[in-house]
Chain A
Amino acid sequence: MSVLPETDQTISSPPTQAIRHRRRLSPNKVWSLVTLTPSIILLAVFVYYFIFWTGYVSFSNWNSFIQNMSWNGFNNYIAVFQSFRFQSDLRNMVFFTVGYMVGCLVLGMLLALLIDQKIKGEGILRSVFLYPMAISAAATGVIWNWILNPTTGLNLILKALGVHHLPQWYLSTAIVPNFNIGYIQGGLPLALVAVLIASLWQWTGFAMALYLAGLRAIPEEIKEAARIDGAGAFRTFWSVILPHLRPITTTAVVMLMAASLKVFDLIYAMTGPGSNFVTDLPALNMFDTTFQGNEFAQGAAIATVLLILVLIFIIPYLIYTIRREAA
């Protein structure tokens, strides 16, 4: 039996590492593959075959209720990219993604640093900043639709404080600065700010939890030095703490990027596409185009563009993470 040399080999390796047998195909490895097979088949169908299927639809003429899979080349993509709605989506996506990522990272980091000061009530504070992650984006949308409704909600308080020009929040049609680009108005649609507030409320805790975990992994002496106030604190943070947190930041950026590209429930429940599509995003556009407009091929084209955008960030990140772990 070849049991002995194998155990010798594994004892010398770290205990957390998986057993690596020299033998080609032990019965256990066959079992391992058998165990994975149902999942492999399910995901092969529901993920990879479906991607292929949707990709195929995006090149077809299926733009009415009746399925028509005849070849239409890139015409659906051309139509989508030339449409006022999708161009608006791209503009909104850029502003939303940047605002969302910067907001979550900065606010999350701030909260993590403030909480990581050996303070009392740490557990409660962490819970308060993280509980929105346990609530559905649909409920979040319903609530913030009410809070940021221009005629009620927050504006009642602003009015009581004597603010004259009350913000129109998600009903605002203003775009600043306003310049023509393609068929659309370039600039930040102010209505998006309302959506950003709601999504920051929901997701900041995620960044905070990531950074807190990162801060906890930094040696205590280094943090002690940073805790000391004065000119030293900022310097220590900038040149010691922040570099330690770089891997966390990378993770957070990739996760938040993927999340922001996929935002759907919140917009659907809170604002809808908005007038002139000021709060529209590709995920909602795809849904409307496909299931309200019955333009399946164009919807498929939007979904394909969205997938490519997400994969650009996710694939390198996954490969990097799995490789680093295996090493």
Chain B
Amino acid sequence: MTTRLVVHAHRTHASRLVMQILNYFVLGVLGAVFLIPVYLLVVTSLKSNSAVSLTTMWSLPNSFGLSGLSQAWQQVAPDMLNSVYLAVSATIVSAGIGSLNGYALSKWTFRGSNVIYFFILLGMFIPYQITLIPLLRVLDAIHLFNTIPGLALVHIVYGIPIMTLIFRNFFAEIPTDLVEAAQIDGTGYWGVYRHIILPLSIPGFVVAGIWEFTQVWNDFLFGVTVTEPPHQPVTVAIVNIAGSQHIQWNVLMSSTLIASLPTLIIYLILGRYFVRGLLAGSVKG
């Protein structure tokens, strides 16, 4: 084993350089391919109505124009506001509930708590089509059908599993000794949560918050089922624009860009936390 490595070491110097160049080349090409949609989105958004033509869709705008963006903004601004209300409220409530659940399931396990955990977790893997028919009935009965609060309620409930998972795994890493010590000092269940767990859980809230915000913002299925214009989230709005008869490409691409910007910006600034949420969603701790 060792001798083979030594023999290899002689050859590696030059060929490693070649490998490295090849490595960068492949990654560069693939990276460019991955960026194509963003290139087209931005370039088309910046073309004026007259400059938009399908035959020149790949070229840079020869005359910059914000008409597409401003028209798109006028069209989707109300839907953007809907999505903001929706995502912010659902994220706050869901993350709050999730942190309480995570605390209970990580620090105060009892006989059967793993079974409860299992049934909570399963809720995030079901295809939500199975819930749609009853969901419409129930929302109708409580007068929340076709309202943003109704859609927020749906997202809060179906966000509970992943929020619980993220916080449970996050709290599992807080040393039990801390909880123990506080308990000996006479601090009770809620005292431990307020004085020990909560102050340590800010990164947990960032991860959970970013994840839930992105999920709710990007949802389409519940939005298209539970709401109608003008109470629709922005994802539904852009699909409706795309499906309309006379499409102005710069307006459509501008709307899509505007609709994607909030989550994209969060990703660019706080990508590290987004990845943690992404990996947490794969269950393994």
A307 to B131, CA, bound (A): 10
B131:A54 contact, CB within 8 angstroms: yes
Known A143-B37, A143-B256, A228-B8; contact A290-B184, beta-carbon cutoff 8 A: no
A17:B176 contact, CB within 8 angstroms: yes
Number of interface residues, chain B, beta carbon within 8 A:
112
B203 on the A face (CB < 8 A): no
A152:B57 contact, CB within 8 angstroms: yes
A202 to B189, CA, bound (A): 43
Residues of chain B contacted by A10 (CB below 8 angstroms): 176, 180
Quick one: which of A136, A145, A230, A283 contacts B217, CB cutoff 8 A? A136
B127:A262 contact, CB within 8 angstroms: yes
Report the minimal beta-carbon distance from B149 to chain A, rounded to whole angstroms.
15
A18 to B104, CA, bound (A): 10
B60 on the A face (CB < 8 A): no
Closest residue on chain A to residue B223 by CB atoms:
A138
Residues of chain B contacted by A28 (CB below 8 angstroms): 108, 188-189
B158 on the A face (CB < 8 A): yes
* Interface SS of B by simple majority: helix
Residues of chain B contacted by A11 (CB below 8 angstroms): 177
B147 on the A face (CB < 8 A): no
A314 to B173, CA, bound (A): 26
B4:A232 contact, CB within 8 angstroms: yes
B172 on the A face (CB < 8 A): yes
Quick one: which of B110, B129, B264 contacts A29, CB cutoff 8 A? B110
A132 to B41, CA, bound (A): 13
Quick one: which of B19, B131, B176, B238 contacts A47, CB cutoff 8 A? B131
A95 on the B face (CB < 8 A): no
A237 on the B face (CB < 8 A): no
A140 to B239, CA, bound (A): 10
Interface band, chain A = 35 or more
Contact code string B122-152 (vs A, CB < 8 Å = 1, else 0): 1101111111111100100000000000000
Report the minimal beta-carbon distance from A81 to chain B, rounded to whole angstroms.
17
B249 on the A face (CB < 8 A): yes
Residues of chain A contacted by B281 (CB below 8 angstroms): 255
A46:B157 contact, CB within 8 angstroms: yes
Known A228-B8, A228-B12, A303-B129; contact A255-B282, beta-carbon cutoff 8 A: yes
B225:A134 contact, CB within 8 angstroms: no
Residues of chain A contacted by B41 (CB below 8 angstroms): 143
A16 to B168, CA, bound (A): 11
7 contacts between A and B (CB under 8 A): A36-B104, A50-B134, A111-B30, A115-B27, A206-B278, A300-B133, A318-B121
A sample of 9 more A-B contacts (CB under 8 A), given A31-B190, A36-B105, A111-B27, is A18-B176, A38-B97, A50-B134, A140-B37, A142-B256, A145-B242, A146-B249, A153-B57, A318-B125
The 9 closest A-B pairs by CB, nearest first: A136-B218, A32-B108, A134-B267, A265-B220, A31-B189, A32-B104, A138-B235, A53-B134, A303-B129
